[in-house]
Each structure stands twice: as structure tokens, then as C-alpha cells.
Structure 1
Amino acid sequence: MDGIGVNFLSELVGTAMLIILGGGVVAAVSLTKSKGFGAGFLMVTIGWGFAVFAGVTVSYSSGGQLNPAVSLALALLGKITVGEMFLYWIAQLIGAVIGAVIVWLAYKLHFDEEPDPAAKLGVFSTGPAIRSYGWNLVTEVIGTFVLVFVVLAFTNGGTPKELGAVPVAFLVIAIGVSLGGPTGYAINPARDLGPRLAHAFLPIKGKGSSDWSYAWVPVVGPLIGGALAAGASTFLLPIVS
């Protein structure tokens, strides 16, 4: 397999791992028959942080992007080609769908027992605490800007490669506990769209709507945030090649 093929597979596997563990912690906390039910939002943010650590670690070949907003920023900065960006986007989306399906398989009986359709959808995708598409978009832009800007800072500032996954994990937890309240902090188009697609096609008992009217927010917002972070990094960060 050539280099781009290896990187494609790396992004797919890494994103699948991200969703298996990230979606899994949401299922554990949200589904009423789960032993982790009611553990709270803090547990979710910690779980997503460790999910990012695992996903980045297993996708070291491609740099552990796992996020179309990160890939977009790297393309805008000339660190990957536009063609590579689109291939990574496809891999990330496929990986996210696969990861969501695996979460459903792990919690199949719990999904069957869960009476609340919103709780089921929440395992797969984000949703706003107060629905206001414009303000929800602003929240996702800000959260993703912070994510991508800080990632660009430490990856270009000489952080040892073996520590790469550790700061990203802590960063995701920090974003979750500080900026995650309004929208559930998708901060990643693939993380939301892929599992939402899985929710739509999986035979989940009593699942209800996939809330497609909101689905554009966690896609467009992170892409804007990633692009803004790339632009800001060129004059606000001491970029090192």
C-alpha cells in the first residue's frame, strides 16, 4: 500500500476509535439501563478526551488529524494538498460511521430498552441546549477555533511527537468543560455527521428523528473555526517548519 493509502487507512481507523470511545461514554452515561447512567457531563468530557488520545495514537501515520476542520487548516497552510484533504475527509467520515455502528452493537440491548428517542440520538450526534442556529454556529466556530489554533501552536512549536496525543486530549477536555455547554461541542464535522448518518440508517428501536435541521451547524461551524484558526496562526503564532 502506498503512502496516501496508509494515511487514508490511518485516518479511518483513528476516527473509528475516536467514535467508539467517545460515543461509548455518551451511551454509558445517557442510556438508562447502563451501569454508567447519570455519571454526568464531566464524565462525558473526560471520556471524549481519552477517546481523542486513543484515536490520535493509533493514527500516527497520518498525523492523527481525525477532524475535517484540522485537515482544512493544514491544507490552507500548505502542509497537505487539497487532494489529500478531501481523501482524509472521506476517511474520517467513513471511520466515524463505522465507529458509531460499533457503539450501537455494544449497547444494542440498552438502546432497545431506552424509552427516550432524544437520549438515543444524543449518543450519535450533538444538539443544542437552547436552539438558536446562529448562536449555536457561533459556539461551534469558537470551540473549533480554540481546538485548531492550539493544536497548530504545539505541533509547530517543537512538541515532541510522542507527546502529541496527550496535549490534544487535555485540550478537548478543556474545551468540553468550558465551551461544551451550549451545543455539546462537536468541534468536528465527521464526529457529528458520520454518527448522525449511522443513526438514520441503523434499525434502532424507537429512535425518532435524526434532527437533520440542525445537522449543518456542527459541520459548517467547525469548518469556519478551522479556517479562521489557520489564518490567525500565520501572524499570531511563531510557526516553525
Structure 2
Amino acid sequence: MSNGHIVIGEIFGTAVLILLGGGVVAAVTLKRSKAKDAGWVAIAFGWGFAVLGGAYIANGYSGGQLNPAVTLGVAIKTGVWHTVPFYLIGQLVGAMLGAVLVWLAYYGQFQAHLTDPEVVAGITADPAGPVTARKAPGGPVLGVFSTGPEIRNPVQNLATEIIGTMVLVLFILTQGMTQGLALNGLGILLTALIVVGIGLSLGGPTGYAINPFRDLGPRIVHSLLPLPNKGGSDWSYAWIPVVGPLVGAAIAGGLYKLAFT
């Protein structure tokens, strides 16, 4: 595969990944959505299907890595480093494009949600007590675009992202990523299923970015979009879903080299 094919494949694949993944979060989160409050299981399966769709689309062109952590793990396994910049370019552009497409697809729901008086006031109902006022650290719709912790503890949050990504990348490497830098069709399906499993098992603390550009690209788009009352983009947290997955991928690559070769 040429460098141009890598960039094109990763743009299209990552855009679909973020469109479907961010789309399911928007569907569950935003007012006036038919899937409102569908819950975490819907989100976990939505992200799994997002990986499935994006990776199958990109597989013939770039191998469908769609994730800098996967790209790092594959480079450690294979020793092929000269293509890494082209993967990263495609992944970042695709992630930002996918986030824009989520905004366009849910434009009316974003407007309705962000102009709702209760949302604007930051009012939430506390089941253990009276209605209280709370401002979300990243604003009322940042979760559609990027991740955030339920308990803000940098050490725990970083560890969660490292562990989740380590599982993902080690799984992918043991499924046969070769010098061709691609999985077969069954490998893609199994990867989508392990993403669902990670979401259900390890997604609770941080929302399981397990992909630096899945978080960073849409967070940049959130900061730029003309969304009313959107709040901040929580840049103080943004380093964790970037650094954590890269560390997890490096550990997975090292473990693969030690244990499986």
C-alpha cells in the first residue's frame, strides 16, 4: 500500500469510526433524540459497530488501524516505522471530520439541547435529594465529542486508559497484524467485539478513549464549533486520553515481543 492510500484509508475509516461512535453518544445524550437515555450498553455496542464499519471500509487501503495506539503497537511488533506519520495524519484528519459530521447529523438536537433552560442553568435532578445546580466540567455536550472521568483522579484515570488500551492492542497484535499491517475480515469482527467488551467492563471510570485521536480530534472540533452555551473543552483533562493509550500500546507491544515472538 502506498503512503497516499494509507492517508486516504485512515481518513475515511476514522471519520466513519467517529461518526458512528460519536453519533451513538449524541443519540443517547441529546434532547429530542429518539434514543435519549438508551444507556451505556447502547453506547458500548455503538462504538463496537463503529470500529467494525470504519475498519472494514479502510482495510483494503490502509489496514484500518484508525488509532495511533494501534499504529504504535503494530510498529513495535513489525519494526515498520516509516509509515507511522501517514497513519497519524489520516487518523487525526478523519477524527475531526467525523466529529463535524456528528454535529451536522444532530444539528437540531444540539440546538434544542443547548438552548433548553434546564441545560443552560446546569440543573440536574439528584435522586438522593433535592434538585441541585451543577456545571459539568466540560460543558453539557462535550461527552458527545470526547471522554471525561466520573471521578477526577489523574493517576486512576491514566491507569484505566493504559489498562484498556493494553488489552485492545495486545488483542489486535495476537490476531495477526503482519508486515502487511492489516487484519483479515474475521480479525476486524473480533476487534469490534473486544471494543464492546472493553466498553462494558472498563468504560465506567473514564469513558474508555483507548484511542488518542478519538478524543483529541473531536475535542478540537468541539472547541471550534459554533455551539450555543457549549461550555469549555476541558483541556486540563485532555492529556490523559492521549498519553494513557500510547503508554498502554507501548506496554502491549513490549509484552508481545517478549511473550509471543
TM-score bracket for the superposition, by shorter chain length: over 0.9
Partners of 2:63 and 2:71 lie apart in 1 by: 10
Match of 2:77 in 1: 77
Structure with greater helix share of residues: 1
* Contiguous gaps of at least 5 residues in structure 2: 120-135
User: Which residue of the partner structure matches residue 180 of structure 1?
Assistant: 203
Q: 1:202 aligns with which of 225, 231, 235?
A: 225
Q: Give the aligned partner of residue 249 of structure 2.
A: 226
8 Å Cα contact 2:145/2:218 also seen in 1: yes
- 1:108-167 per-residue CA deviation (whole Å, 9 max, x = no partner) reads 11111114473411000000010011110000000000000011111259x971212200
Q: Give 1:96's aligned amino acid.
A: A
After the TM superposition, list the runs of 4 or more consecutive aligned residues in structure 1 that deviate by more than 4 angstroms. Answer: none
User: Which consecutive residues of structure 1, in runs of 5 or more, have no partner in the other structure?
Assistant: none
Match of 1:127 among 139, 148, 161: 148
Letter paired with 1:34: S
CA offsets 1:142-200 (integer angstroms, 9 cap, x no match): 0000000011111259x971212200110000000000000000000010000000000
Given that 1:14 and 1:95 are in contact with CA atoms closer than 8 Å, whether structure 2 keeps it comes out as yes
Mapped contact 1:31–1:119 kept (Cα < 8 A): no
Please name the residue that 1:88 is paired with.
87
Hey, what does 1:99 align to over in structure 2?
Answer: 98
Name 1:147's counterpart in structure 2.
168
- Paired amino acid for 2:204: G
Say which SS state the counterpart of residue 129 (structure 1) adopts. coil
Query: C-alpha displacement at 1:77, in angstroms?
Result: 2.2
Larger Rg: 2
**Once the 2 structures are TM-superposed, how far is the Cα of residue 79 of structure 1 from its aligned partner?**
4.5
Q: Aligned residues: percent identity?
A: 51
- Paired with 1:178 and 1:52, the residues of 2 have a C-alpha distance of 17
Distance across 2 between alignment mates of 1:38 and 1:62: 36
Shift of 1:230: 0.2
